[in-house]
Amino acid sequence: MNLFKKIQNRVMRFKAGWNARVTYSSYKDALAACQLGYEDYEIISVVAKKTRHFIKALETMPQIDSASVCGMYSLLYCLFKKHKDSPYAFSVLDVGGACGANYFRIKALLGNEVKWRWHVVETPSMTEAGKLFTTSDELSFFPAHDIEKAQKLLNGIDMIYLSGSLQYMEDPIACLKNLLSYEAEYIYIGRLPLRERERIITVQKHLLSDNGIGALPEGFKDKWKAYPVTFVSKRELMDVLSKKYDVINEFHDNSGAVAFWNVRSGGFLVKKRSKAE
C-alpha cells in the first residue's frame, strides 16, 4: 500500500469514527441505520474468499497473529487440562466463527493429533458460505436460529468460543445467559470491547477489507460497511459469568478497542465451577 493510500485510509477511518458517535435506543433501530449489517453479500463474499486464501496459506505454515493468539492459547490450555489423554473429539461451539477460520488455524497447528467436533453458528447467509468449507465431519455450520440443534448434536461442549462476536449479537448479555445454560466446561470470550459504565448501542463502521483475514481479494473495491454493535460494561458481563464460572485468565489486547467511546478491548477464559464448590 502506497503512502497516499495509507493517509487516505486514516482520514476515512477518522471520519467514520467521528460520524459513528450516535447511540440508539435499540438494536433494531441501529440495524435500520445500517441497511444489511452482517447479512451484506459483499462482506460474506470477501470473508469467504479470504478464508479460501487463508486455508491455502496454512498449508505452507501455521499462522497465529496478535488478534488470534489469546484464542489459540485458550484452546491449547483447555486441551492440555481436559483432553490430553482423552480418546474423544474435543467439542467446540464457535459462535460467530464466520467461515471456520478458527478451526482451520488450530487444525493447521496441531494436525491430526487432536480430533475435533467443531460447530460454527453464524448468520444464515454466512452459514451457507461456510458450508462450502466443510471437508470433513469435524466441521459443521449452523444458522443462529438452529443454535439449539448445534449444541445438542455436540452432546456435551468442551468449549464455547466467542472471538470478536459477542458485541454484535442483538443482546450480548441475553445471548451469554443462553450460552451458559449449555453447561460448557470452558468459555473463551475474546476481542470484546468493554465499557466501565452502562451499555450503549451504536453503529460501527469498518472498511470492507477489515472483514476476514488478509488483504482485500481482487475484484472488490474497498468501501465502508456498517453494522450494529453493543458495548456492555465489564461489571454487567462478570455478574453473569460469575454465577457459574471462574476466571482462569483475563486478556488485554487492543484489537477491539474504540477510543472515542472510552471502550477497552479484552477477553476472558473461564471454567465452569464444579457443583461441590
Torsion of CA 7, 9, 15, 20, to 10 degrees: -150
Return the minimum-mean-pLDDT range out of 3-12, 85-94, 134-143. 3-12
pLDDT at 145 over 70: yes
Do the beta carbons of residue 91 and residue 157 sit within 8 Å?
yes
Query: Which band of pLDDT confidence, cut at 50, 70 and 90, is reported for residue 61?
Result: confident
Average pLDDT over residues 1-16: 54
Higher pLDDT, residue 255 or 94: 94
Please give the pLDDT value at position 266. 87
Please give the pLDDT value at position 18. 44
161 falls within a domain: yes
pTM of the model as a whole: 0.91
Can you tell me the distance from the alpha carbon of 94 to that of 100, in angstroms, rounded to the nearest whole number?
A: 8
Return the minimum-mean-pLDDT range out of 78-92, 216-230, 255-269. 255-269
65 falls within a domain: yes
List pLDDT tens digits, range 95-125: 999 999 999 999 999 998 889 999 999 999 9
Return the minimum-mean-pLDDT range out of 5-19, 43-57, 179-193, 211-225. 5-19
Check which CATH number belongs to the domain holding 171 and give it: 3.40.50.150
Kindly tell me the sign of the dihedral angle through the C-alpha atoms of 62, 159, 74, 235. positive
61 falls within a domain: yes
List pLDDT tens digits, range 167-190: 999 999 999 999 999 999 999 999
Please give the pLDDT value at position 12. 54
pLDDT at 30 over 70: yes
Can you tell me the distance from the alpha carbon of 200 to that of 124, in angstroms, rounded to the nearest whole number?
A: 26
Q: Which amino acid is at 69?
A: V
What average pLDDT is seen over the chain?
89
16 falls within a domain: no
What distances in angstroms separate CA 182 from CA 27, 63, 137, 154, one per listed residue? 25, 31, 22, 11
For residue 118, give the DSSP letter. E
Please give the pLDDT value at position 263. 82
Cell numbers representing residue 165 in the block: 462476536
Question: Domain range for residue 157?
Answer: 40-196+233-272
Please give the pLDDT value at position 262. 73
Determine the longest span between alpha carbons in the chain, in angstroms. 61
Q: pLDDT over 90 for what percent of the chain?
A: 72
pLDDT at 160 over 90: yes
pLDDT at 20 over 80: no
22 falls within a domain: no
Can you tell me the distance from the alpha carbon of 191 to that of 184, in angstroms, rounded to the nearest whole number?
A: 20
Torsion of CA 265, 33, 29, 18, to 10 degrees: 40
96 falls within a domain: yes
Higher pLDDT, residue 3 or 158: 158
51 falls within a domain: yes
Higher pLDDT, residue 139 or 112: 139
170 falls within a domain: yes
Number of domains the chain contains: 1
